[in-house]
Amino acid sequence: MPYTNERGTTVDHQRHATAEMAAQFHRLFVNRRAYTLQSFKPHPDTGRHYYFRPKARDGQALPALSLETLRQHLAGELTVGLYSINPKTQRSKWVAIDADYKNAVEHLLKLQYELTQDGVEPALEKSNRGGHLWIFFEEPALARDCRVYIYHTALRLGLPIKGAGLPEGINAADAFWHTPQRFLAIPQTYLATRLRIAANTHQACHFSSTLE
């Protein structure tokens, strides 16, 4: 079992996951069936675990995300990257707000409290370097409206906004985890930000994340 420096404990990342759990996860997170996978082996030059699109075989279409792939993700057998926006509707089932810097969790807690005053109930997820706030919708919401709402709420609280002349801060420019610079791997005209979904283990640091 790998040792996690962040938690200082030995953690078994192989978890029990069923097809029903994968189906529930699909209903909650998946906006489109395109996806990426994180490499198991680090790049020999950078040491980073990059994401890649699964390749089509024998002239077939690119593989679509399956419930079995999601089940393996939940079991900790692999790490899947999803796209946060449906390109046809420009809507998303969720918003994830990223903050990976000093005092990040403190700022996210302030933002979480402020959002609850609006009747929103964000879920806090602690990460290896900070944390994220997740908001889930009863019906998919317009990504543009989500960005505007989160951006102005953070500004009203005086929280640092990454991309607003600051090198570090809450990532509210796109309001989708992670930072747009790192995760707009597809041309921006597609408006398709992707993320490493929660409840999984990161291949590089073996950090396992959960929502609270």
Question: With pLDDT > 70 as the criterion, what percentage of the chain qualifies?
Answer: 71
Question: What is the mean predicted confidence (pLDDT) over 61-77?
Answer: 90
Q: Could you tell me the two tokens for 5?
A: 């420096």
Query: Rounded distance, CA 116 to CA 155, Å?
Result: 16
Residue 30 has pLDDT above 80, yes or no: yes
Query: Rounded distance, CA 187 to CA 78, Å?
Result: 25
Strands 51-52 and 80-83: unpaired
Contact 92/31 with Cβ under 8 angstroms?
yes
CATH 3.30.70.3300 fits 91-177, yes or no: yes
Q: What is the per-residue pLDDT for 125?
A: 85
Domain edges within the chain: 91-177
Q: Note the pTM of the prediction, 2 decimals.
A: 0.72
24-33, 94-103, 198-207: segment of lowest average pLDDT: 198-207
Question: What is the mean predicted confidence (pLDDT) over 191-208?
Answer: 45
Question: What is the mean predicted confidence (pLDDT) over 115-143?
Answer: 89
Q: What is the per-residue pLDDT for 173?
A: 41
Q: What is the per-residue pLDDT for 163?
A: 66
Q: Which residue has the tokens 């079991």?
A: 75
